[in-house]
Amino acid sequence: MHKMTEKLHNFLLEHIDEMSQPWLDWREVEEYSICTADASRETTEYLREQNQYFTRTIVNVLKEGSLDTLSSWAQETATKRAQCGDPLYGSIHYFKKFRLIFLERIEAFVDLHQSRLKYEDTFSWNRVVNEAFDRMIELFTMYYGQVADAHSYAQKMRISELSTPVISISNKVGVVPIIGQVDEYNSSNFAERIMMQTKNLELSCLIIDLSGVPSIDTMMTNELFQVVKMLDLLGIDAIITGIRPEIALTAVQLGIDLDKLRTYGKLKDAVNKLLH
């Protein structure tokens, strides 16, 4: 390692507290952010430790010349921020602020050693530090996105499971009200869950109510009527209620014979017919 680069490395580590404190002081009160200025003392100290860990990671890039060490901090921190729902844009904003603090500390070192430095030295340090910050932001964003996507998918699955129950209205008759877009159910084993619930309840008739479906495309219409066919194979009578004109049109275009299906315009009509 170049002698002056080594001095800069040591200088930055010696002033690590003087970099983290201005960053903490710069915070503002922000709702739903771990970095809010009114955070507890424990949270503030956690942020200080996290920031100093970040600083050492960036400084190590100056020493080693490799960006490979950045992934660990990015993954650990992004995972925690995503899990607690901290806004991504807020984290990027704090990256931007700390980059300025970090570069100002390098400028202070340059002022102390102007006579011994070459232009190439300062240019190289600036390039390396900015490259490290940019790469860290890329990694942080990637890991944050992965955790956020996984959380969103899990939440969607939980909502889907709750929104497609087979409701038993008698010993042999059940209702499954479909709410929202049908394509939300296609990726969550909708058909399999309906079959399992219907079988467990020992139903002989299942009403599929579509009155809560705002729209449906060709693929999902076909998927829905495949469920009806599977119910028929299991000896379960399927009734569809609340079919909108566009759903009926799509079914006809697919060659589905609606005359062979028991349909009702309203759910209450089917229930009254079956129970009374």
Query: What's the CATH number where 210 sits?
Result: 3.30.750.24
Please enumerate in sequence order all residues whose Cβ is within 8 A of that of 241, keeping only pairs 6 or more positions apart, or say none.
207, 208, 209, 210, 211, 263, 264, 265, 266, 267, 269, 270
- Residue 181 pLDDT grade (very low, low, confident, very high; cuts 50, 70, 90): low
Please enumerate in sequence order all residues whose Cβ is within 8 A of that of 225, keeping only pairs 6 or more positions apart, or say none.
251, 254, 256
Is the model's pLDDT at 20 over the cut of 80? yes
Percent of the chain with pLDDT strictly greater than 90: 40
Of the candidates 112, 129, 155, which is a domain's last residue?
155
Note whether residue 160 is domain-resident: no
- Residue 161 pLDDT grade (very low, low, confident, very high; cuts 50, 70, 90): low
CB 228 within 8 A of CB 208: yes
Of the candidates 155, 179, 198, which is a domain's last residue?
155
Q: What is the pLDDT of residue 10?
A: 94
Note whether residue 258 is domain-resident: yes
Q: What is the pLDDT of residue 121?
A: 87
What rounded mean pLDDT belongs to the chain?
Answer: 85
Is the model's pLDDT at 47 over the cut of 90? yes
Q: How far apart are CA 39 and CA 42, in angstroms?
A: 8
Q: Is the pTM of this model over 0.75?
A: no
Task: For residue 91, give the amino acid letter.
Answer: S
Residues 132 and 171 in one domain: no
First to last CA, the chain: 89
**Domains of the chain: total:** 2
Q: What is the pLDDT of residues 92-136, one digit of tens each?
A: 999 999 999 999 999 999 999 988 888 888 999 999 999 999 999
Residues 21 and 136 in one domain: yes
Residues 115 and 235 in one domain: no
Residues 113 and 60 in one domain: yes
User: What's 31's domain CATH number?
Assistant: 1.10.490.70
Which CA distances in Å does 91 have to 74, 83, 98, 113, 240? 11, 13, 11, 34, 49
Residues 173 and 116 in one domain: no
Written as six digits, the tokens of 38 are 């009114």
Residues 224 and 270 in one domain: yes
**Higher-confidence position of 184 and 126:** 126
Residues 120 and 12 in one domain: yes
Residues 111 and 184 in one domain: no
Residues 141 and 210 in one domain: no
Q: How far apart are CA 217 and CA 149, in angstroms?
A: 25
Residues 189 and 239 in one domain: yes
Note whether residue 69 is domain-resident: yes
Note whether residue 217 is domain-resident: yes
**Torsion angles phi and psi, residue 178, rounded to 5:** -95, 120
Note whether residue 240 is domain-resident: yes
Is the model's pLDDT at 159 over the cut of 60? no
**Helical (H) or strand (E) element with 132:** helix 119-163
Residue 52 CB neighbour total at 10 angstroms:
16
- Residue 187 pLDDT grade (very low, low, confident, very high; cuts 50, 70, 90): very low
Q: What is the pLDDT of residue 129?
A: 95
Q: What is the pLDDT of residue 61?
A: 92
- Chain position carrying tokens 């599929």: 208
Domain span at 223: 167-275
Q: What is the pLDDT of residues 247-276, one digit of tens each?
A: 778 777 777 766 777 888 888 888 888 876
Note whether residue 99 is domain-resident: yes
Q: What is the pLDDT of residue 138?
A: 96
Point out the least confidently predicted range of 41-45, 154-158, 215-219.
154-158
Please enumerate in sequence order all residues whose Cβ is within 8 A of that of 195, keeping only pairs 6 or more positions apart, or say none.
230, 231, 234
Residues 121 and 81 in one domain: yes
Residues 199 and 119 in one domain: no
Note whether residue 162 is domain-resident: no
| DSSP calls for 22-47 | HHHHT----TT-TT-TT--HHHHHHH
Please enumerate in sequence order all residues whose Cβ is within 8 A of that of 32, keeping only pairs 6 or more positions apart, or say none.
85, 86, 87
Of the candidates 121, 155, 189, which is a domain's last residue?
155
Q: How far apart are CA 271 and CA 1, in angstroms?
A: 81
Q: How far apart are CA 206 and CA 167, in angstroms?
A: 9
Q: What is the pLDDT of residues 202-219, one digit of tens each?
A: 899 999 888 877 666 777
